[in-house]
Amino acid sequence: MTRQKFIDQLLKGSRRKPGTRGEAFAPANIALCKYWGKRDAELNLPANSSLSISLGKLGTRTVVKFAKNADRIFLNGKPAPKAFTRRVLAYLDLFRKKGQFFEVRTKNNIPTATGLASSASGFAALIQALNELMGWKLRPRELSMLARLGSGSAARSLYDGFAVWHAGQRPDGMDSYAEAVDSAWPALRIGILEVSAARKEPGSTEGMNRTRETSELYQAWPAQAACDFDELRAAIAAKDFPMFGKTAENNAMAMHATMLAAWPPLCYWKPRSLALMQKVWEVREYGFELYFTMDAGPNLKLLFLENDARTVRKLFPKVQIVTPFPKA
């Protein structure tokens, strides 16, 4: 099935009474059980279900309006760089009628220096703003399926707190959406340790494809991911932090192992990434409950509980601590 057919099917029953403007905020999210590998590249369907935590007030705010003669794309108050503009326009092309143009103004409050991917919050904010502008009145579940077409992990950025993205089984992808996990964990903290703010190379799609095609270890990935997904859900329900941290860290290491066994090898780590991992393992030897996760990049995201924040700051003076469940 093509993207266009998928979108037509999804929008079939929806209202289409355009307004004059749409605005939305979406949080960034960090996967604890990673999405790694596609079962369908055209519809961006994942090979495995994933689970994430959103970063509260850190994310993307986007305003969309109709424009007169040409598209205009702004990022953080300035005309957006070429690669960013190209990606947004390719996405808008999926939804525009002939002769329709858009003005998109998008702002990230994720400090760019953290090197955190903003495509997840970016596409999640854009599709919600479009929903308002176009008057579709779609529900979050449907919007997450549309966000997925921009960037897989964007499917999970429709929600605060924990979110799960179901891999689904249907070839048309109508069962591959994200939804919120009804479970808050106010004591949970995430510590961002920046190693490099440079763009990840190669990008996640190429990284996934290469791993899937050439890594023998990838064979084991879907089963491990399914197991980790269930364990994380159970750990969240029971607020079992050691089980939560261990499962998330082990899931990230297993994903990186599949990449290391790809050809040519994929290693997103820098020497400093490894030094930081070793520091975490060392303090854990002494009984300190600190874990980490890493995506397709060199930065670490520490996982710990509120009571340990002071010690984490002492151990890692440059850490940026995020509260994923901020008080309203």
**For ligand PMV, which stretch binds (CB under 6 A), given 20-28, 67-75, 84-92, 148-156?**
148-156
Residue window 54-93: x/- pattern of binding to ligand PMV, with contact defined by CB under 6 A: ----------------------------------------
- Residue from 24, 26, 28, 31 touching ligand PMV (CB under 6 A): that is 31
Residue window 166-205: x/- pattern of binding to ligand PMV, with contact defined by CB under 6 A: --------------------------------------xx
β-strand pairing of 38-40 with 45-46: antiparallel
173: left (phi over 0), alpha (psi -120 to 50) or beta: left
**152 contributes a contact to ligand PMV by CB under 6 A:** yes
CB-wise, 153 or 258, nearer to ligand PMV? Answer: 153
**34 contributes a contact to ligand PMV by CB under 6 A:** yes
For residue 78, the minimal CB distance to ligand PMV (Å) is 24
User: 8 — phi, psi (to 5°)?
Assistant: -55, -45
Q: Which of 189, 172, 142, 148 is nearest to 44 (CA)?
A: 148
Separation between Cα atoms, residue 86 and residue 258, nearest integer Å: 31
Q: Give residues 110-129 in contact with ligand PMV (rule: CB under 6 A).
A: 117, 119-120
Q: Indicate the length of the chain as a whole number.
A: 328
Q: How far is CA 311 from CA 68, 262, 306, in A?
A: 55, 37, 10
CB-wise, 22 or 297, nearer to ligand PMV? Answer: 297
**292 contributes a contact to ligand PMV by CB under 6 A:** no
CB-wise, 47 or 315, nearer to ligand PMV? Answer: 47
* Per rule CB under 6 A, count of chain residues that contact ligand PMV: 14
β-strand pairing of 178-180 with 162-165: antiparallel
Q: Exposed/middle/buried for 217, CB within 10 Å: 0-12, 13-18, 19+?
A: middle
**273 contributes a contact to ligand PMV by CB under 6 A:** no
Three-class HEC string of 244-282: HHHHHHHHHHHHHHHHHCCCCCCCCCCHHHHHHHHHHHH
CB-wise, 192 or 296, nearer to ligand PMV? Answer: 296
Query: Rule CB under 6 A: which residues touch ligand PMV?
Result: 31, 34-35, 50, 117, 119-120, 151-153, 204-205, 295-296
